[in-house]
Chains A and B, each alone.
Chain A
Amino acid sequence: MFKKKSPSLITGILLAALPVLTRAEYSFNLPEAVTPLARDTMRVHNEFMLIIIALFLAALGIMVYSLVKHRRSRGYKPAAFTKPGTRAQWLWVIAPFVGLLIIDYVVIGIPAYHAAATMEDTRTDADMVLKVTASQWKWQYEYPEEGIKFVSMLATPKDQISNRAPKGENYLLEVDNPVVLPVGKKVRVLIMSTDVIHGWWVPAFGVKRDAVPGFLRETWMKIEKPGVYRGQCSQLCGREHAFMPIVVEAVSPDQYAQWVARKKGETAKVAAAAGKVWTKDELTRQGRGVYDKICAACHQPNGKGIPGAFPALAGSKIVNGPFVDMNGRLIKDGHLDRVMNGKPGTAMQAFKNTLSDADIAAVATYERNSFGNNMGDTVQPALVKSLR
């Protein structure tokens, strides 16, 4: 299980160490806040940090004073008190706890209440809705008002992860399809999951919310400054947990409108693709792309899977079997059924939720005619559309 095919150790270490030598953009605090929520969070965080550092230094100071003064090597004779005796001593004992109570429930407690209440108010004056659906290991974004829906996945090449190529500036924090949102609008975010629990976290927005399968969760943000904001999945969700980043591009409302128009055009094109009859070559060519991006993480680029964890597709009975019955209906647990509806309780998810008709048809055709599988048939996008 240790990685075998790595480049020479020294090259690997050098390639990995390169960023340390050339770049330093770390910061010691939360990232710059670009939403009202993040600003609130930043404010309470900074205030609390100062308070706890002060409390720590005060306690440590008293302790260090005692360590220096009350030591035998300086001839200090031990006292014998075991509890406060005089009224003044009682006051000294009670005072720190009264102070702590005030810090807990007034100094920290009141601003913390306001920040928490603001955070949960997702509905008041919401301008638009963004639906986020998490799956192992990608995010699907949907704009219900616009009818736009797409999947967003890690765009960092595998070569960079395995240290065969120098790492890019946004290593592990770059995706193929970023979310685009207008600045100055309150976006209500609805979050769900198709398989396991994930967490949608963009630090600059002060937003982190778990995506729980079977339940709807929500949060909100109102981005005040145009820019590109990056985040990651925050809940251990399996093998590729480190590799499902989030990228949000905040643009002006005009640019947002243009982007919406362009995306709608693409969506129409994808829908039209289901209408025509595809050749086997077209399908396998597109299918290879989809496979390498979506399926290869588990089933491996050579279709051999990982024994014990992820089944092989090469020589698989399911892949090398029929997928529709004589009446043109999906065969339960057949190849196409697996691809479209997944296998409950496993990492194999229902891809009809995230892939287009053409992509499903293409990847199924590719799998049936690769890795030594030689079924020779095709799956047409129109069929997939009719079986949804």
Chain B
Amino acid sequence: MTAATNAASHDTQHGHPTGLWRWLTTTNHKDLGTLYLTFALVMFLVGGVMILLVRAELLLPGLQVLDPNLYNQLVTLHGLVMVFGAIMPAATGLNNYLIPLMIGAPDMALPRVNNWGFWILPPAAVMLLLPFFLAFFGVGDGAAAGGWTLHNSPLSLQAGIGMDFTILAVHLLGISSVSGAINVIVTVFNMRAPGMTLTKMPLFVWSWLVTAVLIVLVLPVLSAVVTMLLTDRHFGTHFFIAAGGGDPIMFQHIFWFFGHPEVYIVVLPFWGLLPHILATFARKPVYGYKAQIYAFWGVGILGSIVWAHHMLTSGMPLAGNLYFMYATMSVSIPTAVLIFCWIATIWRGSMTFETPMLFALGAIAMFGIAGLTGLVLPDVAANAQYHNSYFVVAHFHYPFFGTAVLVMMAAAYYWLPKMTGYMYDEKLGRLHFWLTLVFFNVTFVPQFFAGLDGMPRHVADYALRFTEFNVISSVGAFLLGAVQLLFLYNIVQSIRGRGARATDRVWEGAEGLEFTLPSPPPYHSFTTPPVVK
């Protein structure tokens, strides 16, 4: 397939299995990175097709395409697939491929754990999706249908086997993430090349270190809470059943103790990628390196103590509401530091606008919208209007798609030539950027207005006053989906070696150890550690 295949042909002195056996047994960080990234791309397309079915139903009022039960399943699966199947594995794929190259290590510290961490992902994805298809053959009543947060625990207790499949799939996904995160922490602290002190580490490595710490802290909490749900469903416990002394709101507290840091787990690695790309194309060193490291930690710490702003309408006492409101607002400070540093990085640079730079700049603007709408959401009184409305749906797609996915695309265009040894089609890449940015906003801006106008989320059908907004949003979504085929085509062309040869440094302004290696890098790199001055 990609880089590693090419690399293998250049570097035959180290024997390793070929074909399927190679990919099943590989412990090589580049192979595993490739597997993670491929898996993420496939899941990105699967989750995308799901949401396009949903948008088709929402195109017009009335039920045309899906029955409400099927609709709820698709919305739920879209969320789970995109968060756990696409974005998190994409970030893990990048860390696998890039961290050893960036810190001058021969591989990740725990290669077998790395292999295992990847290979439990496909079975987990099958488990998650299987009940959806089984229902068409009359087995069970479909996949989980209560929203990806399973926020309504009494509803989860009513659900059929789809919920059990989801719970076990979440366990597997959690084990995979935690093992990947432990690997990052161990690698960063033990495998750095001589001279690569902590304060010389590239920002992507720093942001992944914070992410990994968050994953190790909160993913087990998710596993715990779904296990409690499982025992409530089948073994007579009453954690979330009021009649037995439990509390459905406790589920939400425990879930969001994981769920809010999860938002930062999703975006932090991508924040860390941005300064690399900005500095390269501005031909100017990163501004505020240390400030950004402190900001990553600040977001990680503050992000872990603000979870109940997802529950401001659940009836918490005034003191609780106020604490979570003010604490949440404080997250705006470290995120503003990041935006400041990124703009200062390009300020008075000598910029050119290749595809990765366009995606990076677009992501900064979209992240601005994400952060600023996030600043008003925790306001307790206004939250009563925003909560569970389309305003929130629009809001959280700005960090998830507008930031994480756009930066992922920037990173794909930026490092793909390094991985494959061939450039992508620049014209097509720029077209892909502009169409993605425009259609993303055509899709989600109307949802802000629909939400303010009173449209609740998770509805299969809606009142007539929301029609115009939904028509625009659905048309935008179809086009946004179609445009991603350009991305797919461009990646495949680069992998198949159709573009120009990439130089070792790939980009004129690129800095970093990974750009001292040939493109593509050999199968085993930095077997002798480089010396960092």
Contacts and interface: CB of A to CB of B under 8 A. Distances in A.
B379 A197 contact: no
Contacts of A62: 343, 347
B376 interface: yes
A241 B68 contact: yes
B110 interface: no
A239 B160 CA distance: 13
A241 B140 CA distance: 21
Contact of B60 (A16, A56, A80, A207): A16
Interface in B300-332: 313-315, 317-318, 321-322, 325-326, 329-330, 332
Given A108-B379, A112-B381, A162-B62, A3 B348 contact: no
A97 B332 CA distance: 10
B82 interface: no
Given A232-B459, A236-B151, 13 more contacts: A59-B339, A66-B347, A70-B349, A71-B350, A72-B351, A82-B288, A83-B291, A172-B462, A206-B384, A212-B314, A233-B456, A234-B456, A309-B141
Contacts of A357: none
Contact of B63 (A163, A197, A209, A234): A163
B463 A236 contact: no
Contacts of A218: 315
Contacts of A119: 380-381, 384
A167 B368 CA distance: 40
A96 B340 contact: yes
B453 interface: yes
Interface stretch (A42-50, A329-337, A373-381): A42-50
Nearest to B146: A236
Interface in A82-102: 82-83, 93, 96-97, 100-101
A30 B64 contact: no
30 contacts: A1-B142, A17-B60, A44-B382, A60-B365, A60-B368, A67-B351, A78-B348, A83-B288, A83-B290, A100-B332, A101-B333, A105-B326, A116-B322, A162-B63, A170-B463, A172-B461, A172-B462, A197-B151, A197-B155, A214-B247, A231-B454, A232-B454, A235-B151, A236-B72, A236-B146, A239-B68, A308-B135, A308-B138, A308-B141, A345-B157
Contacts of B343: 59, 62-63, 66
Interface string A100-119: 11001100110011011111
A93 B381 contact: no
Given A112-B379, A115-B380, A236-B155, A214 B329 contact: no
A15 B62 contact: yes
Q: Which 4 A-B pairs have the closest CB atoms?
A: A214-B242, A115-B381, A242-B459, A116-B380
Interface in A119-138: 119-120
A257 interface: no
B458 A160 contact: no
B282 interface: yes
Contacts of B147: 236
B462 A242 contact: yes
Interface stretch (B21-29, B211-219, B431-439, B466-474): B466-474
A238 B282 contact: no
A41 interface: yes
B382 A45 contact: yes
Contacts of B333: 97, 100-101, 104
Contact of B67 (A3, A76, A201): A3
A13 B60 CA distance: 8
A378 B465 CA distance: 46
A56 B288 contact: no
A209 B79 CA distance: 24
A161 interface: yes
B381 A239 contact: no
Given A78-B284, A112-B380, A161 B64 contact: no
Interface of B: 60-70, 72, 135-136, 138-142, 145-147, 151-155, 157-158, 160, 241-243, 247-249, 282-291, 313-315, 317-318, 321-322, 325-326, 329-330, 332-333, 336-337, 339-340, 343, 346-353, 361, 364-365, 368-369, 372-373, 375-376, 379-382, 384-385, 387-389, 449, 452-454, 456-469, 471
Given A16-B62, A215-B315, A100 B70 contact: no
Contacts of A197: 151-155, 248
A120 B312 CA distance: 11
B157 to A, nearest CB: 6
B64 A80 contact: no
A115 B382 contact: yes
A309 B160 contact: yes
Contact of B350 (A78, A199, A240): A78
Interface in A16-33: 16-17, 19-20, 23-31
Nearest to B455: A232
Contact of B385 (A41, A163, A195, A237): A41
A197 B337 CA distance: 39
A29 B452 contact: yes
Contacts of A183: none
B382 A41 contact: yes
Given A28-B452, A233-B456, A70 B70 contact: no
A31 B379 contact: no
A25 to B, nearest CB: 5
A79 B351 CA distance: 11
B452 to A, nearest CB: 5
Nearest to A195: B154
A52 interface: yes
A52 B375 contact: yes
Contacts of A104: 329-330, 332-333, 375
A90 B315 CA distance: 44
Contact of A63 (B60, B145, B365): B365
A20 B69 contact: no
Contact of B471 (A20, A113, A167, A345): A20
Nearest to B459: A242
Contacts of A237: 152, 155
Contacts of A203: 385, 453-454
B20 to A, nearest CB: 35
Most buried by A among B64, B329, B454, B461: B454
B284 A52 contact: no
Given A25-B465, A27-B453, A72 B382 contact: no
B237 to A, nearest CB: 12
A346 B304 CA distance: 34
Nearest to B132: A1
A238 B469 CA distance: 24
A101 B337 CA distance: 12
A40 interface: yes
A37 B381 contact: yes
Contacts of A236: 72, 146-147, 151-152, 155, 457-458
Contacts of B66: 2-3
Contact of B352 (A28, A71, A201): A71
A6 interface: yes
A117 B465 CA distance: 32
A325 B147 CA distance: 43
Nearest to A203: B454
A290 B351 CA distance: 70
A118 B347 CA distance: 45
A259 interface: no
A344 interface: yes
B329 A82 contact: no
A218 B314 CA distance: 10
Contact of A173 (B63, B332, B336, B463): B463
B284 A207 contact: no
A210 B70 contact: no
Interface string A298-322: 0000000011110000000000000
B244 to A, nearest CB: 9
B381 A206 contact: yes
Contact of B456 (A48, A167, A201): A201
A254 interface: no
